[in-house]
Amino acid sequence: MEMINALNVLNSLPLASLEVGEHFYWRIGNLTLHGQVFLTSWVVIAILVVASLAATRNVQMVPGGIQNVMEYALEFLRDLAKNQLGEKEYRPWVPFIGTLFLFIFVSNWSGALIPWSIIELPSGELAAPTNDINTTVALALLTSLAYFYAGLSKKGLGYFAGYIQPIPILLPIKILEDFTKPLSLSFRLFGNILADELVVAVLVLLVPLFIPLPIMALGLFTSAIQALVFATLAAAYIHEAIEVEGEEH
């Protein structure tokens, strides 16, 4: 009986004034765009551009401040690409893999550190770009295009010969892999970021003082891990596409 009463009280609380799935739309001709995703994505891009300009405005031989941070990030991303692609192949792919990592990393952290929800919109509410399935699917599809481009550039049409190796019966499985890779990339990132923000929101509502803080710290850590996982898998898929049988990594 007490549990039923508690559920009735929770159901009566105004937990949210928004409907699930409600968005702030922009309509341009026949296109309908999620305006809230564009707005937060532009904020993330602006943060990255400003940080890059600040780091390169007055380059010093002995780096300090923002230059030191950006050089450390570049070295980290270079090592990430080298470990996955190998010494011979990694350089052309550092910008792509680095951009993926930095955009996802800053997007994820923006959801944990920026109080997007206090900005009122005519409908829907602002959230981290990676909290929207459209963003994660777009990033996953870009990764798919990247490894197809890498494989065709390296092997030409012979890239598709790998679909029937070592035996032709593997063709349906290899084709299925091309669909499951972007699906797993997009849903893994989207699911983890959405779950983290929902947990923090519920805890802040129920226990608004100290308990949510460790969860928020854990969310920052897992957000960074998700960016690393996405970039690492993207590099691994590209390496798989350009790898030549018998060639050392």
pLDDT tens digit string along 106-126? Answer: 999 888 787 777 777 777 778
Q: Is 113 helix (H, G, I), strand (E, B) or coil?
A: helix
Which tokens belong to 153?
């550039």
**CA pair distance 36, 193, nearest whole angstrom:** 16
Evaluate if pTM is beyond 0.85.
no
Give residue-wise pLDDT tens across range 178-206.
Answer: 888 888 899 999 888 888 777 777 776 77
**CA pair distance 5, 245, nearest whole angstrom:** 66
Question: Among residues 29, 193, 6, which one has the least CA distance to residue 107?
Answer: 193
| Mean pLDDT for all residues in the chain | 80
Instruction: Give the residue, 45 or 166, on which the prediction is more confident.
Output: 45
Query: How many other C-beta atoms are found inside a 10 Å radius of the C-beta of residue 105?
Result: 21
Banded pLDDT at 223 (limits 50, 70, 90) = confident
Q: Is the dihedral of CA 56, 60, 65, 69 positive or negative?
A: positive
Which residues 6+ apart lie within 8 Å of 112 measured at CB?
128, 196, 197, 200, 216, 219, 220, 223
Give residue-wise pLDDT tens across range 165-175.
Answer: 778 787 888 88
**CA pair distance 41, 39, nearest whole angstrom:** 5
Type of residue at 148: F
